[in-house]
Amino acid sequence: MQIVIAGAGIGGLTLALMLHRRGIDCRVFESAQELRPLGVGINLLPHAVSELEPLGLLPGLAERAIETSQLHYYNKFGQPIWREPRGLDAGYPLPQFSVHRGEFQMLLAQTVRARLGEDAIVTGRVLESVEQDASGATAHFRCRADGALQSVRADIVVGADGIHSALRRQLHPTGDEPRFSGRMLWRAVTEAPPYLDGRSMFMAGHQDQKFVCYPISEPLRRQGRSLINWIAELSVPGAELPATDWNRQVDKSVFADRFADWRWDWIDIPAIIDGAQAIYEFPLVDRDPLPRWTRGRVTLLGDAAHPMYPIGSNGSAQAILDARCLSDWLAQAASGAVRTPEIALLEYEAERLPRTAGIVLRNRLNGPEQVMQMAEERAPQGFDDIGNVIAPQELAAVSLRYKQLAGFDPATVRKSRGEAP
């Protein structure tokens, strides 16, 4: 069996490693002319880390990434709403990692090339369309260097080509426009002194004005410093979705004044904003869940299948879970345990589409971050004790409900590893 994967992001590269581990041949075609460590920070939750462990990636991650210890929620005055341990500190069998997205992608790419061969990743190839018949599928790529068309034959084609997926557009040419929330994100990284214990995430504010921070560099932590990934988020009345550039560099003056007085005894947010060398603006967008990802011998994975708001630290994790599920079903097709590759793709879709659709919709309700909105609505002028505003049991229930929906509550993770819940 031969698989063509369009897209060398986290989902596509993880799928390549998982297919290789199951003895299935594949190649990855990437639109960028070269892979570079771009982007900012991401979180890899324990259920995703559990899938990366059999691939032998944990030592490389541990060298690069922070093992996150806690997650804190605060209101716009810096008053604490909720705090919970994360990863190993929460009793999971594996850590939660906070890491620079580009560094993790480079680790995956290096591992793919080392195990599958240097030619396993072909760059500068833009997917234009896919044709299929009873015996296979043909992916047509445009070469960036000379404009030539390259056609590649395979048994299966997987679109892991992101929120602007060409394969998704071919499968669903109408009625699938991006859904803009009216909120903008500004993202950057800043080297600064550590805050709290040097391994904690925090979120402050509410759905119309929010700031998120977490450290992403273990080497810097060992030097007593911190590389802080941060996100400023604001509702922008009357804003329209940019037509093309969803990742443009901007000056801090676009948003920084809204956070000018966010200085508390343990963090100086204006100083963190000032310390960034480059700030990038993103619209907060997703797409409505699709009725299907699969048609015959082609299917979607990751952001191509289920783009979601970056809430709950879940986007990369869900792409990794997609890769595990799809590789398992394709292995069954290759062994004859499933009658045809087409059935394997439908089984993958039946397992993953409903779960990810639920996460997309729950993230529109702010996912676990809704505790900040609850505090804003019930105590807009702040509080002396959050227990007088929101009962601890209510806060804990919000957290657990989202973990169960996304599949990373401790009991589910331990059960998936064959351990006692």
pLDDT tens readout for residues 105-114: 999 999 999 9
User: Residue 81 carries which side chain, given as an amino acid letter?
Assistant: I
Q: What is the structure's pLDDT at 242? A: 74
Asked if 317 and 45 count as a contact pair (C-beta separation under 8 A), the reply is yes
Q: Which of helix, strand or coil describes residue 49?
A: helix
Q: What is the mean pLDDT of residues 135-161?
A: 97
Alpha-carbon span 52 to 317, nearest angstrom: 10
β strands within 70-155, DSSP E: 70-74, 80-85, 97-100, 121-122, 125-133, 136-143, 149-154
Residue 95 sits at the vertex; the CA angle it makes with 36 and 59, to the nearest 5 degrees, is 55
pLDDT, position 353: 98
What mean pLDDT value characterizes the chain?
95
DSSP category for residue 157:
E
Q: What is the pLDDT of residue 37?
A: 80
Q: For residue 115, what pLDDT is reported?
A: 98
Checking if the pLDDT of 246 tops 80, the result is no
The predicted pLDDT at position 360 comes to 96
* pLDDT > 70 in the chain, percent: 99
Q: Which of 282, 284, 367 is nearest to 318 (CA)?
A: 367
pTM, two decimal places: 0.95
Side-chain-side CA neighbours of 250 within 13 Å: the count stands at 19
User: How far apart (Å, rounded) are the C-alpha atoms in residues 157 and 152?
Assistant: 10
pLDDT in tens, 335-372: 999 999 999 999 999 999 999 999 999 999 989 999 99
Q: Does the structure show a pLDDT above 80 at 377?
A: yes
Q: What does the pLDDT read at residue 244?
A: 64
Give the lowest-confidence range in 11-15, 35-39, 234-238, 272-276: 35-39
Contact (Cβ atoms closer than 8 angstroms) between residue 214 and residue 272: no
Residue 245 pLDDT grade (very low, low, confident, very high; cuts 50, 70, 90): low
| pLDDT average, residue stretch 68-80 | 97
Of 131, 134, 166, 138, nearest to 152 by C-alpha is 138
pLDDT of residue 372: 97
**What domains can you pick out in the chain, each with its CATH number?**
2-37+101-177+290-366 (3.50.50.60)
pLDDT at 417: 87
